[in-house]
Amino acid sequence: GNSVTQMEGPVTLSEEAFLTINCTYTATGYPSLFWYVQYPGEGLQLLLKATKADDKGSNKGFEATYRKETTSFHLEKGSVQVSDSAVYFCALTTNNDMRFGAGTRLTVKP
Amino acid sequence: NAGVMQNPRHLVRRRGQEARLRCSPMKGHSHVYWYRQLPEEGLKFMVYLQKENIIDESGMPKERFSAEFPKEGPSILRIQQVVRGDSAAYFCASSPRGSPDTQYFGPGTRLTVL
């Protein structure tokens, strides 16, 4: 079945550091891939998405490229801020439901 | 255009009671999804509904859990005879007709079973 595996956290970085959160997937067919962010006490917000191979999703300085050959969708940001502290979820969908990774908690320190 | 609304935001129940969680989708959205998030875990798909139809309930526990999305009014997730293991955050998402891969999430209902 479809599944998503993402890097375990927590991840702690200093402000302005480079961020990578790894995500790999297993899916039948051609999934759409997503990154969601969850701030404390809130629901998930869509951060970015890519719907086909080699697409790059980007938003708020974050980006991820849909790599079919490595079945990956790693999240990157060149310079993180304290306000980026949150839990990040990688997800995929092929049909009616969405499969999420376990989430990676990011803490950015000043 | 209001976002996805969920209520209550926090719900406390004693073991054996019933919990009813409500979700009002975004205006114009006819697809509703329910997810459960256990502490320190990711979201687990529970059920996907359209108006008056359950499309996919493969993630729903076989007993005590049910969901509906009536023609009028919000979608309801009902948990009967709650147990401590039901304590979790329950998130609802909605999507426009024909676009199930674009879901907008509500703020969630945090259920605590004493």
Burial A6-40 (b: 16+ CB within 10 A, else e): bbebebebeeeeebebbbbbebeeebbbbbbbbee
Residue window 3-32, chain B: list those with CB within 8 Å of chain A. Answer: 4, 6
Could you tell me which residues are beta bridge partners of residue B33?
B48, B93
Where is pLDDT greater, at B101 or A37? Answer: A37
Q: What is the spatial distance between Cα A45 and Cα A38, in angstroms, rounded to a whole number?
A: 6
Test the B interface: residue of A94, A98, A99 with most B CBs within 10 Å: A98
One digit per residue, the tens of pLDDT, for chain B of length 114 reads 568 999 999 999 999 999 999 999 999 888 999 999 987 777 888 999 999 999 889 889 999 999 999 999 999 999 999 999 999 999 999 988 656 567 888 999 999 999
Which single residue is written with the structure tokens 């979700």?
B23
pLDDT at B111: 97
Which single residue is written with the structure tokens 């300085």?
A61
Written in H, E and C, the secondary structure of A16-65 is CCCEEECEEEECCCCCEEEEEEECCCCCEEEEEEECCCCCEEEECCEEEE
CA distance B79 to chain A (A): 21
Q: pLDDT tens digits, residue range A45-92?
A: 899 999 999 999 999 999 999 999 999 999 999 999 999 999 999 999
Q: Percent of chain A scored above 70 by pLDDT? A: 98
Contacts of B55 in chain A (CB under 8 A): 96
Structure tokens at A31: 């999934």
| Nearest residue, CB atoms, A99 vs list B4, B45, B102 | B45
Q: Inter-chain contact B59–A100, Cβ cutoff 8 Å?
A: no
Which single residue is written with the structure tokens 């550091």?
A17
pLDDT at A96: 66
Residue A93 carries which side chain, given as an amino acid letter? Answer: T
Whether the bond into A40 is cis, omega within 30 of 0: no
| Nearest residue, CB atoms, A102 vs list B41, B91, B102 | B41
Q: From B109, which residue of chain A is nearest by alpha-carbon distance?
A: A43
Q: Is the pLDDT confidence value at A18 over 80?
A: yes
pLDDT at B99: 63
Contacts of B44 in chain A (CB under 8 A): 100
**Closest C-alpha to A23, from A54, A56, A64, A52:** A64
pLDDT at A40: 84
Could you tell me which residues are beta bridge partners of residue A90?
A35
Identify the band that residue A28 occupies on the pLDDT scale cut at 50, 70 and 90.
confident
Contacts of A33 in chain B (CB under 8 A): none
